[in-house]
A and B are shown apart, each in its own frame.
Chain A
Amino acid sequence: MSAALPMPTLIAMAWRNLWRNSERSWVMIGALAIAIAAMLFLIAMMRGLLNDMSQQNLRALPGDIQIHPHAYLDDPAIEYRLPWPSGDLRHILDGPLVARWSGRISVGAMIASERENRGIQLIGYLPSREGNSSFNEHQLITGIWPADHDRGVVVGGALLDKLDTDLGKRIVLTSQGADGEIAEMGAPIIGVFKAEMAQTEERLVYIPLPALQQMLRSGEDIQQIAIFSATDSDIHPLQAHLKNALPTADIQRWDQLNSYLSAMLDSMDAIITILIVVMFITLAFGLINTLIMAIFERVKEIGLMLALGLKPSHIALMILAETCVLLILGIVIGNSLAGLAIYSLHDGIDLSAVAEGFAMIGAAPSLTPQFLWRDVWLCNGIVITLGLLCSLLPAWRAAHYSPIEALYRD
């Protein structure tokens, strides 16, 4: 029996074998690199889009966890209210798991200028509790954001146009009061905001909570408690705590609030895996072909090696090593290309030409690819695993040639 062939020798042989037909190897590496780069780039774009949709969705009323009165989400009426937090709930909210929290009211209302009227969503909030500017990423064009005890409203630029009115003018808000009677209030427009999506500008009107509570005659009651987690880590435990303290309310994480989004988020990993596998299977035919040809043209040589006493397992290992080097080169080049592409777009791609199309799925017309290490591991892992699986059969066949037959094959 021959002595064990050291691994470095095997790898050296595999490396040299690869470059005996360098063009063929480069074509294969090129195909691998392009496919990997394209997949990683596409995944980053999809993640970016989904990320943007989640953010847009939350921008009007952000919060890692949101508490609503039971039935409110199906029927957002003023009669479903929560008392201002106290007792156990207040204890958790003021505890270490929560960075900050706030109470809000969000009701449908009618806004009327002297010329026009429109249906809107009226959002009552406490500026001091919303971390000031971070509450609202909508940009203020003119005017100011209110303080807690102001009595003015902030409207979107598009709504201002529709209402044919201006900053400083008075508008009349009409909605239903907590007592069931019509509730009305006049208020000046003190600020005008700009949003990435036109429908946000047309639908949302902000007002300080105390003024809205007074208009709706709802006392200290609120409709939503928004909670911002103190850490970036898992918010499930916090959700569980809150459920214990307030079993009758709807307590949802941000990713549960929009069923469309949560369905998308849930299926994202599956979609990515399917994409990569399909792409790889198409690639695999070429890979197997390359390996088979590489072995085919070396049958005599393999026969000679076997005749000289090399173990079949060494032959198989050599082929596997050759595949490995091929895959690793493809992966390194592919990942670098994807990295470059993603980096060069880190400021976002301007898609304002199709803004309304993106608004339909609730995304802003600017797309920034989102890079996740998880996706890199997933993509490269699938390629390496499936690639080595593909090479098992050719390697096994090569290892089981009969030395005599192989030597005399022409």
Chain B
Amino acid sequence: MPLSLRLAWRNLWRHQRRTWLTVAAMTLCNTILIFMISLQAGSYLTMLDNSLAVFTGHLQLQHPRYHDDPKPRFSVANGRQLAAELRGLPGVNGAAARGLGFALLSSSTRSKAMQVIGVESAFESSVSSIPGTLRQGQYLSDSTPQGLILGRRSATHLKAEIGSEITLLGSGRDGSFAASVLTVVGIVDSGLEEMDRSTAFIRLQDFQDIFSFGTEVSHIALRSPSIFEVPTTQAGIDQRIADHATLVSVDWNSLMPGLKQAILSDVASALFIYAILVIVVVFSVLNNQLMAVLERRKEYGILLSLGVAHRRLIGLLFAETALLAGLGLFLGLVVGGLINSYFAHAGVYFAGMEQMAEKFNLPSRIYPMMHPATLLAGPLCVFFGSLMAAFYPALKLRRLHPVMARAGL
């Protein structure tokens, strides 16, 4: 160990209690930062994945005007054929065409205005989790012509059961009258209140007949292998559709801008708390090092008189601060990492927060993310903040005059 480092290490332990108190403050702060940041990162990813998995998908192919003005006439031509082609592309885990319309659905006793979605029954489950939440009956298939899938809440509202006949009244793509009689074949429970209340699914071919869509569809939903690979997938698709003037790909962030914004606003308020925590700890370190410099004035005076340069002493001070901060960093990583790895397996359960969780498509148990970035981000801020805190004591040290300092002035 070089001499200066050894001197710094010994200096650190001249006031054991003081050093441990400051290290404890850093360790506590680091532990909190590690746990909170990992928990947030974990919940954001879960929220994104779950929200997009329900219905939206990672990407959608649409008519260029559909996104801002979702009218039936801004549709995608030959949607089923296109979806089939896209399924063969690399980076596409799922693709399914859909038709979207509004209609009044009536059972024998009740009526309700609902969104009616025509889905490719064989492929819908590759882009949406809704088919997997079937509670009763069966999902749409070739053997269910004129079949209808209702949400649990809308089925209750319409007083409909499997086998009930439902009348559909609405208007078609060309403004014509759209009417049909459908049979309830299944009931799903997506867990999302709004979806369960106001959305019904039919087969895409039935949808195209009823709403006069011909071979048109409203959009094609696509899934990438993961949310991080969406840009790659999108680039591949854009290349494929380059010669279609009436097609654009829209990513999840444009489809559900609220998701990223909700995360960003949450990050902003959390960053504020973290920044204050770090500042408070940095003040502790500042006080610690300031006291160290002030109480060693006489000793510094002697060293300066003996010809030791100011910058050597300042280097010593920074080495001491780095050791102090490094100790806090190390202990923080150990304690925070242990707590984190426990909860990464067990999950964190927020009692009474189910309502909040549902709103953001979160399960009531959240798993913190174990990633070098989530572990190191906070503690490194504390570490470098502590080094910055040594600048003020260093400035004091720099101004010391050998003779005055020796007299304790």
Q: Do B110 and A42 touch (CB < 8 A)?
A: no
User: Within the complex, which residue of A24, A31, A45, A267 is in contact with B280, where a contact is CB–CB below 8 Å?
Assistant: A31
Q: How distant is A260 from chain B, measured CB to nearest CB, in Å?
A: 4
Residues of chain A with a CB closer than 8 A to B170's CB: 110, 117
User: Within the complex, which residue of A290, A296, A354 is in contact with B264, where a contact is CB–CB below 8 Å?
Assistant: A354
Q: How distant is A237 from chain B, measured CB to nearest CB, in Å?
A: 27
Residues of chain B with a CB closer than 8 A to A267's CB: 352-353
Residues of chain A with a CB closer than 8 A to B24's CB: 285
User: Within the complex, which residue of B113, B258, B261 is in contact with A174, where a contact is CB–CB below 8 Å?
Assistant: B113
Residue-wise interface mask of B (132-164) relative to A, using a CB-CB cutoff of 8 A (1 in contact, 0 not): 000000000000000000000100110000000
Using A292-B17, A359-B258 as known contacts, say yes or no to A31 and B114 having CB atoms under 8 A apart.
no
Q: How distant is B308 from chain A, measured CB to nearest CB, in Å?
A: 24
Using A77-B157, A176-B106, A182-B106 as known contacts, say yes or no to A360 and B262 having CB atoms under 8 A apart.
yes
Using A42-B269, A357-B261 as known contacts, say yes or no to A285 and B22 having CB atoms under 8 A apart.
yes
Q: Do B280 and A35 touch (CB < 8 A)?
A: yes
Query: Does any Cβ of B come within 8 Å of A23's Cβ?
Result: yes
> Bound complex: CA of A283 vs CA of B261, how far in Å?
32
Q: Do B356 and A77 touch (CB < 8 A)?
A: no
Query: Does any Cβ of B come within 8 Å of A378's Cβ?
Result: no
Residue-wise interface mask of B (257-288) relative to A, using a CB-CB cutoff of 8 A (1 in contact, 0 not): 11111111100010011001101110110111
Q: Do B265 and A357 touch (CB < 8 A)?
A: yes
Residues of chain A with a CB closer than 8 A to B106's CB: 176, 182
Q: Do B21 and A24 touch (CB < 8 A)?
A: no
Query: Does any Cβ of A come within 8 Å of B115's Cβ?
Result: yes
Q: How distant is B87 from chain A, measured CB to nearest CB, in Å?
A: 31
Q: Do A119 and B115 touch (CB < 8 A)?
A: yes
Query: Does any Cβ of A come within 8 Å of B359's Cβ?
Result: yes
* Interface majority SS (helix, strand, loop, mixed), chain B: helix
Q: Do B276 and A292 touch (CB < 8 A)?
A: no
Q: Do A289 and B22 touch (CB < 8 A)?
A: yes
> Bound complex: CA of A276 vs CA of B86, how far in Å?
53
Residue-wise interface mask of A (98-112) relative to B, using a CB-CB cutoff of 8 A (1 in contact, 0 not): 000000000011101
Query: Does any Cβ of A come within 8 Å of B291's Cβ?
Result: yes
Q: Which residue of A lies closest to B258 (CB)?
A: A356
Query: Does any Cβ of A come within 8 Å of B381's Cβ?
Result: no
> Bound complex: CA of A357 vs CA of B268, how far in Å?
12
Q: Do A176 and B112 touch (CB < 8 A)?
A: yes
Question: What is the size, in residues, of chain B's interface with A at 8 Å between Cβ atoms?
Answer: 66
Residue-wise interface mask of A (15-51) relative to B, using a CB-CB cutoff of 8 A (1 in contact, 0 not): 0000001011001101100110011001001100000
Q: Which residue of A lies closest to B283 (CB)?
A: A31
* Interface majority SS (helix, strand, loop, mixed), chain A: helix
Query: Does any Cβ of B come within 8 Å of A268's Cβ?
Result: no
Stretch at the interface among B25-33, B59-67, B314-322, B368-376: B25-33
Q: How distant is A355 from chain B, measured CB to nearest CB, in Å?
A: 7
Q: Do A117 and B261 touch (CB < 8 A)?
A: no
Query: Does any Cβ of B come within 8 Å of A220's Cβ?
Result: no
Residues of chain B with a CB closer than 8 A to A75's CB: 153, 156-157
Residue-wise interface mask of B (13-25) relative to A, using a CB-CB cutoff of 8 A (1 in contact, 0 not): 0010110011011
Query: Does any Cβ of A come within 8 Å of B355's Cβ?
Result: yes
User: Within the complex, which residue of B71, B198, B281 is in contact with A119, where a contact is CB–CB below 8 Å?
Assistant: B198
Residues of chain A with a CB closer than 8 A to B263's CB: 357
Residue-wise interface mask of B (213-228) relative to A, using a CB-CB cutoff of 8 A (1 in contact, 0 not): 0000000000000000
Query: Does any Cβ of B come within 8 Å of A275's Cβ?
Result: yes
Residues of chain A with a CB closer than 8 A to B70's CB: 162
Residue-wise interface mask of A (155-189) relative to B, using a CB-CB cutoff of 8 A (1 in contact, 0 not): 00000011010000000001110001010000000
Q: Do B104 and A263 touch (CB < 8 A)?
A: no
Q: Which residue of A lies closest to B27 (CB)?
A: A285
> Bound complex: CA of A400 vs CA of B100, how far in Å?
81
> Bound complex: CA of A75 vs CA of B196, how far in Å?
12
Q: Do B102 and A118 touch (CB < 8 A)?
A: yes
Query: Does any Cβ of B come within 8 Å of A404's Cβ?
Result: no
Q: How distant is B403 from chain A, measured CB to nearest CB, in Å?
A: 22
Q: Do A28 and B261 touch (CB < 8 A)?
A: no
Q: How distant is B11 from chain A, measured CB to nearest CB, in Å?
A: 15
Query: Does any Cβ of A come within 8 Å of B290's Cβ?
Result: yes
Residues of chain A with a CB closer than 8 A to B198's CB: 108, 119
Query: Does any Cβ of B come within 8 Å of A13's Cβ?
Result: no
> Bound complex: CA of A358 vs CA of B261, how far in Å?
8
Q: How distant is A56 from chain B, measured CB to nearest CB, in Å?
A: 14
Residues of chain B with a CB closer than 8 A to A351's CB: 265
> Bound complex: CA of A43 vs CA of B225, how far in Å?
41
User: Within the complex, which residue of A282, A290, A297, A357 is in contact with B295, where a contact is CB–CB below 8 Å?
Assistant: A297
Q: Which residue of B lies closest to A263 (CB)?
A: B355
Residue-wise interface mask of B (275-314) relative to A, using a CB-CB cutoff of 8 A (1 in contact, 0 not): 0110111011011101100110000000000000000000
Query: Does any Cβ of B come within 8 Å of A141's Cβ?
Result: no
Q: Do B284 and A354 touch (CB < 8 A)?
A: no
Q: Do A119 and B102 touch (CB < 8 A)?
A: yes
Using A21-B294, A182-B106, A283-B280 as known contacts, say yes or no to A117 and B25 having CB atoms under 8 A apart.
no
Query: Does any Cβ of B come within 8 Å of A259's Cβ?
Result: yes
Query: Does any Cβ of B come within 8 Å of A345's Cβ?
Result: no
Query: Does any Cβ of A come within 8 Å of B50's Cβ?
Result: no
Residue-wise interface mask of B (21-50) relative to A, using a CB-CB cutoff of 8 A (1 in contact, 0 not): 110110011001000000000000000000
Residues of chain B with a CB closer than 8 A to A260's CB: 355-356, 359
> Bound complex: CA of A23 vs CA of B290, how far in Å?
8
Nearest first, the 8 closest Cβ-Cβ pairs linking A and B are: A357-B261, A285-B25, A110-B113, A286-B284, A356-B258, A31-B283, A119-B113, A354-B261
Given contacts A182-B111, A360-B261, A360-B359, 6 further A-B contacts (CB under 8 A): A42-B272, A110-B102, A260-B359, A285-B24, A286-B284, A288-B21
* Cross-chain pairs A/B with CB under 8 angstroms, 9 sampled: A23-B294, A24-B294, A45-B269, A117-B103, A175-B113, A176-B112, A282-B25, A293-B15, A358-B262
- Give chain B's interface residues, CB within 8 Å of chain A: 15, 17-18, 21-22, 24-25, 28-29, 32, 69-72, 102-104, 106, 109-115, 153, 156-157, 169-171, 175, 198, 256-265, 269, 272-273, 276-277, 279-281, 283-284, 286-288, 290-291, 294-295, 352-353, 355-356, 359-360
